[in-house]
């Protein structure tokens, strides 16, 4: 996710390469990032903390405490952006006292610029900090602002959602194969159908029920398929999937 943001920020010229300093412990990755993007690299986290106007935390949540314990000379006006799942604003503000902090939850389509990011502001964050955060995360997709109390729900829906959609697409492909289509053709049909439907809903600002009604003619094929989905509990299964992921996100945040 960190590299996805880096590549898009540079591609859209939100920042230029000379203005970006990446701290990476692995020499091989440092060399790759420097050659691929032309950015400055270091193995010292403190170097970034001491010099950056915006600090993007893109580390594993499990090493958060170990990493921040090594940092000194924090900059009071430095904006801290966190993409760490389960690390609360309370923990972030304890680690970076008196600094503006914004916690975010992006999702994997961000790697192709089609992501969905939710952001929540800490106590010290001001409107201009939120504006900057929106500008940064807009490079990888759409951005919404929510209270931190809703971030677990965001995780259950858009954070974990690509997994649900991938399973649905896989099932559509298998259904096409079962009906006699070659797998390659079934794959192309399924992926483009899901992509096109999402774009149609967004472009036309349609409620999903409206689109469903438009494509279900009386006694037709679509209503027959939808009736089977309802019988199998498809809608309820997706609702329960979001709720299960939401509860798991809450558990991880407490752990």
pLDDT at residue 29 in the model? 94
Residue 106 contacts by C-beta under 8 Å, 6 or more apart in sequence?
1, 5, 83, 115, 116, 117, 137, 140, 141
Extents of the domains making up the chain: 2-147, 161-254
pLDDT at residue 151 in the model? 93
pTM over 0.85: yes
Please give the distance of CA 108 from its chain centroid, rounded to a whole number. Answer: 5
The answer to whether residue 117 scores a pLDDT higher than 90 is yes
Mean pLDDT over the full length of the chain: 93
Please give the distance of CA 126 from its chain centroid, rounded to a whole number. Answer: 23
The answer to whether residue 98 scores a pLDDT higher than 90 is no
Instruction: Write down the H helix ranges in the chain.
Output: 2-11, 27-37, 45-51, 64-68, 89-95, 127-137, 151-154, 161-178, 183-204, 208-215, 221-232, 234-254
pLDDT in tens, 165-196: 999 999 999 999 999 999 999 999 999 999 99
The answer to whether residue 60 scores a pLDDT higher than 90 is no
> Average pLDDT in the 207-228 region?
96
CA distances 48 to 52, 55, 87, 190, 220, Å, are: 6, 7, 20, 44, 61
Report residue 249's pLDDT band, with 50, 70 and 90 as the boundaries.
confident
| Complete DSSP assignment for 82-95 | E--TT--HHHHHHH
Report residue 255's pLDDT band, with 50, 70 and 90 as the boundaries.
low
Q: CATH code for 161-254?
A: 1.10.3730.10
pLDDT at residue 7 in the model? 92
The answer to whether residue 73 scores a pLDDT higher than 80 is no
Give the CATH superfamily of 2-147. NAD(P)-binding Rossmann-like Domain (3.40.50.720)
The answer to whether residue 253 scores a pLDDT higher than 80 is no
The answer to whether residue 27 scores a pLDDT higher than 80 is yes
pLDDT in tens, 129-154: 999 999 999 999 999 999 999 999 99
The answer to whether residue 128 scores a pLDDT higher than 90 is yes
Residue 172 contacts by C-beta under 8 Å, 6 or more apart in sequence?
186, 189, 190, 193, 194
Report residue 88's pLDDT band, with 50, 70 and 90 as the boundaries.
very high
Same CATH fold assignment for domains 2-147 and 161-254: no
């Amino acid at each position: 996710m960190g590299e996805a943001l880096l590549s898009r920020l540079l591609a859209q010229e939100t920042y230029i390469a000379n203005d970006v300093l990446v701290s990476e412990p692995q020499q091989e990755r440092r060399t790759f990032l420097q050659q691929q993007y032309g950015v400055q690299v270091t193995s010292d986290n403190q170097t970034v903390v001491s010099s950056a106007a915006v600090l993007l935390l893109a580390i594993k949540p499990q090493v958060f405490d170990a990493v921040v314990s090594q940092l000194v000379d924090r900059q009071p006006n430095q904006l801290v952006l966190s993409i760490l799942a389960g690390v609360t604003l309370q923990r972030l503000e304890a680690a970076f006292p008196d600094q503006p902090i914004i916690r975010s939850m992006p999702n994997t389509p961000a790697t192709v610029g089609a992501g969905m990011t939710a952001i929540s502001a800490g106590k010290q964050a001001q409107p201009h900090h939120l504006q900057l955060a929106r500008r940064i995360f807009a490079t990888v997709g759409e951005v919404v602002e929510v209270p931190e109390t809703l971030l677990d729900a965001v995780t259950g829906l858009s954070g974990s959602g690509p997994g649900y959609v991938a399973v649905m697409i896989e099932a559509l492909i298998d259904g096409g194969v079962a009906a006699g289509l070659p797998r390659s053709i079934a794959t192309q049909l399924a992926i483009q159908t899901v992509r096109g439907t999402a774009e149609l809903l967004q472009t036309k600002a349609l409620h999903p029920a409206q689109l469903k009604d438009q494509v279900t003619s009386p006694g037709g094929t679509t209503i027959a398929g939808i009736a089977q989905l309802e019988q199998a509990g498809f809608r309820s299964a997706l609702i329960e999937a979001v709720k299960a992921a939401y509860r798991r996100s809450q558990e991880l945040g407490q752990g």
